[in-house]
Amino acid sequence: MRRIVFDIETTGQMNGGSIDFTNQELTIVCIYDSETNEYSSYLKEDLPKLWGILERADMLIGYNSDHFDIPILNKYYPGDLTHIKSLDLLKEVRAVLGRRLKMDNLAAATLGAGKIASGLDAVKWWQEGNIEKLREYCIDDVRVTKELYDYAKKHKSLKYKDFDGIREIKLNPTNWETPGDTPAITHTLPF
């Protein structure tokens, strides 16, 4: 099964103090491809190179990806990325815990190390034109997401820090990698 772990960064446009998802502009997409065992990144102008990779994926894996990453990325894709099976780790955690957790909290408790920066830093780096720092941050978020996914698959749980210490969230990854119902899409691939 070809799994693509991914994350996007955006311009972070605000509307009245909160992020306005409808006005978000993509700055970079970073992925881990299980088929090649490599990480790569794509600026907005590079997206045509990414489409063929996503179209050949059996599953997309992200954190808050069903709510944020996929809808924003879909604004640029000529088809509909929701037709590719996806696993949103935040959605899995929320289904069990009943609330959202920051990825940094899960990473620190589960993996022993948190994220290297925040999304606000990514917006600042984009505005400053510091593309390499932005790329480094986004790829690291993909690495953290991949490691959380791998841990959850192996241990059937993730950990988080609460007010009274480290707690465990029991997860059921049994069906995570079963094939999706939707056939592969080929909106940009040559026939």
Residue 187's pLDDT is what? 59
pTM of the model: 0.90
What proportion of the chain, given as a percentage, has pLDDT over 90? 72
Q: How many helices and strands in the chain, by DSSP H and E?
A: 6, 9
Q: What is the mean pLDDT of residues 104-131?
A: 85
pLDDT at position 189 over 60: no
Ordered by start, the domain boundaries in the chain are 3-170
For 47-101, what is each residue's pLDDT tens digit? 999 999 999 999 999 999 999 999 999 999 999 999 999 999 999 999 999 999 9
pLDDT one-digit tens code per residue, 18-31 = 555 667 889 999 99
Mean pLDDT for the chain? 88
CATH T-level fold of 3-170: Nucleotidyltransferase; domain 5 (3.30.420)
